[in-house]
Each structure stands twice: as C-alpha cells, then as structure tokens.
Amino acid sequence: MNHDAYCNEHIAGILNSVRTIAVVGASANVARPSYFVAKYLIAKGYTVHPVNPGQAGNEILGRPVYASLADLPEPVDMVDVFRGSDAVPGVTDAILAMEPLPKVVWMQLTVRHDESAARLEERGITVVMNRCPKIEYARLSGEIGWNGVNSSVLSSRRPELRSGYQSFGIRR
Amino acid sequence: MSQRVPGFETLAIHAGAQPDPATGARITPIYQTTSYVFNDTDHAASLFGLQAFGNIYTRIMNPTQAVLEERLAALEGGTAALAVASGHAAQLIVLHTLMSSGDNFVSARQLYGGSINQFGHSFKNFGWEVRWADAKDPDSFAGQIDDRTKAIFVESFANPAGFVTDIAALAKVAHDAGLPLIVDNTMATPYLLRPIEHGADIVVHSLTKFLGGHGNSMGGVIVDGGTFDWSASDKYPMLSRPREEYGGIVLHETFGNFGFAIACRVLGLRDLGPAIAPMNAFLILNGIETLPLRMQRHCDNALVVARHLTGHDKVDWVEYSGLPDHPNHALLQRYSPNGAGAVFTFGLKGGYEAGVRFVEGLEIVSHLANIGDTRTLVIHPASTTHRQLTDEQREAAGAGNNVVRLSIGIENAPDIIADIDQALAKA
C-alpha cells in the first residue's frame, strides 16, 4: 500500500463504509482540532466514541469518554488516531488487542508510522496516514470549496444532499 | 492508487464548479444574497466557531465567490484562495495578516503604479514600512531585511514593461530569511506562469485584468501556496497564536496548509470588509473558462505588434521580453515558454508630446487605465497612472516620459497594427 498518495475512490470508499469511529486522543477543549473533527463526524451521522484516559468518565460532545480502546462498549469500524507519531506503536498494540479488529485505522494529518501500518495491514486492516477525515469528507463531498479550499475534485454529477441546509454527503 | 491530475484547460472550466444541487443548473448561479439560513443554533455556532464549512454572510463568503476561489486555487496549484473586491484589497489583506505596526516588507520597485502608491503612501498610516529593492538584482532584497521584515513582494511580469522576475532566486532570498515570498501574477496569469511551482508562498491577482479578461468586473484574489510554515517562528502571531475571537483556536494548527487563506478570510476580510460582489465573481468565472485560448492569442498578437514596432521610424525602442534580442528573453523562456503576455512598452522618439499625440490619435485602440481586456488598450503612463510619481520614480518603474504602454487585445492583428500606424503618423 502506497501511503504517499491515496486516490479519491479509496478514501470515499472508506468514509462511505464505516459507521462507528473511536477517536483516540479526543480533546474536551473546544478549540482543539480533535474536538472539531469529532463534532463534524457526529454531524455527518457517524457514531463517535471518544477515547482519552484524562477525560474518562466525563462527556465530550455528549458522548461518554473511555479510558482505552479496551473499554469501548461496542465494536468499531474505524479507529481515528489523534496522537503524535511516536505514540502510534503503543496505540497499534492496543488496536491489535481489540476483538473484533477495526476495519480501518486512520492517523491524522502529520501522523505517520510505517512500521505500525505494516503490522496493522498484516492483520487485514486498511490504514490511512497523514490525512484528516474531516478534510477528506469535506473535500470529496465538495463542502470544503465553500471556504475557498481546493478540493482537487472535478465533477459534473449531482452533489449528495444531506438533511438541513449546507450539508453534503460523499457521492457513492 | 494515485489520482489523475487534470490539465490546465480542464481546470479552467471545471475546477470548483459542481452542478447546482437544488436545480441542476450547470453554470454556477449568481447567489445574490447577503446571508444564509441556519438549521438551528448549534449549526450557527459551528459556522461562527469555524467548526463547520459553510456560508454565514456574504461579506465573508458567498457560493458564487467560492467557485471562483477554488478555481483559482486549482489553476495556481495552491491549497486555497480568497476572492476580494480588487487586487488592491488582496494586497491589503495579505499584508494585514502578516504585519503589525512597526513592521516592514521588501518590495521590488518595478511595480504597477497603483501598488507603488498603496505601499509607499497609504500603508504608512498603518505603520507598515515598504523597503524598495531592484527586481533585476535578487541580492538587493537580502540587504533590506531585518528582524521586523515580514515578507518579500514582487510581480511575476513587472508592470508596465513586462520585465520577468527570477522567482526562484527571490524565493531563496525570502526562505533563507524565514520569510514568505508574495508574487503578484496579474500580468502573466497562471496560464503562462505558476509562481508557486517556482517557490512562491502566496500569489495575488487583480482579477480585473486577464483572468476576468473582458474589462467588465473588478476583483482580486489571494492564493495560499500551502508551502510556508507559519509556526516556525513567532513572526506571524495571527496564524500561530490562539485567536481570542474564535474561542482560542490556532489557525495554522487547525487549518494546516490552507491556514493562511482561512486567516485572510476570517480575520482580514471579515474585519476590513472588501468583499467581491457575487455578480463580479460570476463574470470573472465566465472569463476564466476561456483564459487559455485568450491568453495565447494575447501573446501571439503582442509579439506580432512588438516586431512591427521594432522597425518603425517613429519608435526609439521596444521593450518586450518576447523579442529574442531582449535581455530578459532567457528568463522568459525559463519561466514562461508559451509567451511574454500582452503588455509591453515602447519609446517614442518625440518624447512626452509625441506620447500624448499618439494616444489621442488612435481610432480602435482605447486610451484608458487598464490592461487585460479583449480590446487593445493604450496608456501614456507619465501623464496618467504614473503621474503622481517623481521623474526619478517613473524612470525606475520603467515609465519614463516618452514611454507608451500597450495591452494587446485579441482582435485581428493587422487591424491593431493599422490603427497604431495611422496614430504614429500623427505623433
């Protein structure tokens, strides 16, 4: 798997197939990117479980926070890693101990650890690194263009409308 | 698994423009509205808190404008863009995002006269100092940089003589000093030259010129190259420090490689206010669809006219880097192999008076203060755009008393030459 470039169909396929996401490193601080991303994913209909030992027992965005992946109340389709690259091997150990395994492990912008990715892929897990699911969702749906950001997507097809004003989905 | 990269001509037509989701309209509609209904208070809070993408108020963003922005970001190879009311507004907002009172920036002195005024006079009121350097000598910039310097500014093809700037050399000077390079790419357009590919960090344009291309709408744009690390030093606190008015978010951290464009929008445009009209955004978008065709014709016609003038007995000299014996021709071939643009200058043997007689004697070519129209345009800078400058400043800017500037249009080239010849006969 080439982790320097992903094609749009690959990323769209992931975001259109996963429903339940554990966010490792979710912050309770409303000014932090991990809070923004979790809020956006919830607004797009995903079930989000925040994981943060410092906030365990509290709520973030109205969801209970779990101390570790082992404490999650249900299997998840994807683990979104909001930790520095040096923390990834430890998170990988915790992911590989999950039962069942998640289908996807997604590491945020600037987070990349090729050795861990190889361990996860060996177990059949799809790995995305150095990307943000919020940015990718907004890019592939076309929402990101509303704020002048280059989506790098050209399309003559109808945008996928979600309920309410100003909410696109990703075309299937 | 890599993504196909579309060609420039395809991007000029498609980038940013999906069909309208409500109606299927294929052409981007003119969203002539000031504001946008929220789903609920939480949606409103998400938009105001920069937690969701979307529209709030047309002073900050508008769906027609957004298509224009994404298209320009794509054409320049940038991460994001912000369209504003004019090229001057773009320059104001870029520097407002980078500078505080007491700071300075180093600019090439070979600039559009309006920029020389803006930088040298109006910006003084903000406590922003411009330090002039010579675009032909990249080392002259390095000597002007001190610990309060925030940016280097140049034009890709410098107005009015069309001098080609060595962007890669200037980018090295800027980056060695930890500064971003800002390039005004109005005269070249991204069809001929994409400054970000040569190391520029920020590109600005007057969209009023070749991008709109039809002389009907004012506009400007800021393109974020996504290349500069705003957090590497403490020089750019609007990007690298928490913003109180947005609940403490750090714009560079939150928006990454498009953080500069977002900062220009949510701080500069929001608070200074020079928004582009949706109608103008629409007209400029229509113009951009034919930019590759128009720009090539502009270049081809300009070369024919420049060659004709070179042999004319009323003409002292022609300065067009598209001519093979021009001292700038090697740089042109490196940076802009498809052509040297539409704008060039020539000197009349009869001096200032001949310049005035020439512009007043033209029948089809229009005497006005603009460039980049489908029509051929002419101006005598010394008596118009560069009138407020001293003789010395005019000479330095390539706009001396005998200089005439042409912006060659896309008409039939022999017709352009016939009109110029009859006016030269009277000059």
Residues facing B149 on adjacent strands: B104
pLDDT tens-digit profile of B112-160? 888 999 999 999 999 999 999 999 999 999 999 999 999 999 999 987 7
How much helix, strand and coil, in percent to the nearest 5, is found in chain A?
35, 20, 45
Domain ranges for chain B:
8-287, 291-426
State the sign of the Cα–Cα–Cα–Cα dihedral B151, B152, B153, B156. negative
Closest alpha carbon within chain A to B255:
A33
The answer to whether B194 and B74 have CB atoms below 8 angstroms apart is: no
Chain B residues close to A151, C-beta within 8 Å: 16, 70
Assigned fold of A8-169: Rossmann fold (3.40.50)
B8-287 with B291-426: one CATH topology? no
CA distance linking residue A45 with residue A86, whole number of Å: 31
Dump the DSSP string for B295-348: HHHHHHHHHHHHHHHHT-TTEEEEE-TTSTTSTTHHHHHHH-TT---SEEEEEE
The whole-angstrom distance between A106's CA and the closest CA on chain B is 17
Q: Which two tokens stand for residue B276?
A: 């582009």
3-state class (DSSP) for residue A10: helix
- Name the pLDDT band for B2 (thresholds 50, 70, 90): low
pLDDT at A107 over 60: yes
Which residues of chain B from 265 to 324 reach within 8 Å of chain A, CB to CB?
265
Chain B residues lying within 8 Å of A5, measured CB to CB = 1-3
* Separation CA A145–CA B16 (nearest Å): 7
Are B66 and A147 in contact (CB < 8 Å)?
A: yes
Task: Say whether A18 sits in a helix, a strand or coil.
Answer: coil
* The residue count for chain A: 172
Topology of domain B291-426, CATH: Aspartate Aminotransferase, domain 1 (3.90.1150)
Q: Is the pLDDT of residue B321 over 60?
A: yes
Residue A105 Cα, gap to closest chain B Cα (Å) = 18
pLDDT tens digits along B41-93: 999 999 999 999 999 999 999 999 999 999 999 999 999 999 999 999 999 99
Compare CB distances from A10 to B1, B51, B248 and report the shortest one's residue.
B1
- CATH number belonging to domain B8-287: 3.40.640.10
Write down the mean pLDDT value for chain A.
96
- Residue B243 — pLDDT band, cuts 50, 70, 90? very high
Domain extents in chain A? 8-169
Is B172's Cβ below 8 Å from some Cβ in A?
Answer: no
Pairs of residues, one from chain A and one from chain B, whose beta carbons lie less than 8 Å apart:
124
Does B52 contact A at CB distance below 8 Å?
A: yes
Q: Is B102:B110 a contact under the CB 8 Å cutoff?
A: no
ipTM of the complex in this document: 0.94
Chain A contact set for B39 (CB, 8 A): 164-166
